[in-house]
C-alpha cells in the first residue's frame, strides 16, 4: 500500500505563476505516456482564497482519492507559505522547484 502512495505522489503537477503581489497555482494530472490533463483552473492568492476554492473543486472530482486530495492541498500550502517568505526571490522558487522530491512543481512564469 505504501508503495502505491509513493507512486501517486508525482502524478499531479503544480503549475506556478510567481508574482511580487500574487501567486497563481493550478493543478494538472500526468498520466501514463506523459499525457497531461488540467484538473483545475488557476487560483490567484491573495486575490482569492485559493485553498478553499481548490478544496471545493477537488471535492467535485470523485476520481481523485481522499489521500490525493490531502496531498494536493498540502502541496498548495507549501507553495503559498514559501511564496509568503520568499516573494522577492526568484532564486528561492527555483530551489523549491528543483529540490522537491515529493511534489512536482513547475514554474511557468515570474513577474
* Per-residue pLDDT at 71: 92
Q: Report pLDDT for 3.
A: 39
Q: Per-residue pLDDT for the chain (111 aa), expressed as one digit of tens each?
A: 443 444 355 689 999 998 888 899 999 998 877 788 999 999 998 888 888 899 999 999 999 999 999 999 999 998 898 888 888 776 767 777 777 777 888 888 877
**Grid cell digits, residue 34:** 506523459
Q: Spell out the domains of the chain, with CATH numbers in brackets.
A: 2-110 (3.30.390.140)
Helices 50-59 and 66-86: angle between axes, nearest 10 degrees: 170
pLDDT (0 to 100) of residue 85:
86
Structure-block grid coordinates of residue 55: 478544496
Nearest to 14 by CA among 72, 63, 66: 72
pLDDT of 10 = 64
For residues 8 and 34, what is the distance between their CA atoms, to the nearest angstrom?
14
Of 31, 38, 27, residue with least CA distance to 103: 27
What are the backbone dihedrals phi and psi of residue 8, each rounded to the nearest 5 degrees, phi first? -80, -10
- pLDDT for residue 92: 67
This prediction's pTM? 0.81
What residues form DSSP beta bridges with 109?
Answer: 17
Amino acid at each position: 500500500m505504501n508503495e502505491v502512495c509513493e507512486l501517486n505522489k508525482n502524478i499531479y503537477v503544480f503549475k506556478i505563476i510567481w508574482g511580487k503581489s500574487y501567486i497563481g497555482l493550478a493543478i494538472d494530472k500526468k498520466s501514463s505516456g506523459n499525457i497531461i490533463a488540467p484538473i483545475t483552473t488557476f487560483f490567484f492568492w491573495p486575490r482569492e482564497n485559493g485553498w478553499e476554492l481548490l478544496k471545493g473543486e477537488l471535492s467535485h472530482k470523485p476520481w481523485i482519492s481522499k489521500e490525493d486530495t490531502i496531498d494536493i492541498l498540502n502541496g498548495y500550502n507549501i507553495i503559498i507559505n514559501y511564496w509568503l517568505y520568499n516573494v522577492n526571490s526568484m532564486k528561492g522558487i527555483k530551489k523549491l522547484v528543483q529540490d522537491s522530491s515529493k511534489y512536482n512543481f513547475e514554474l511557468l512564469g515570474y513577474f
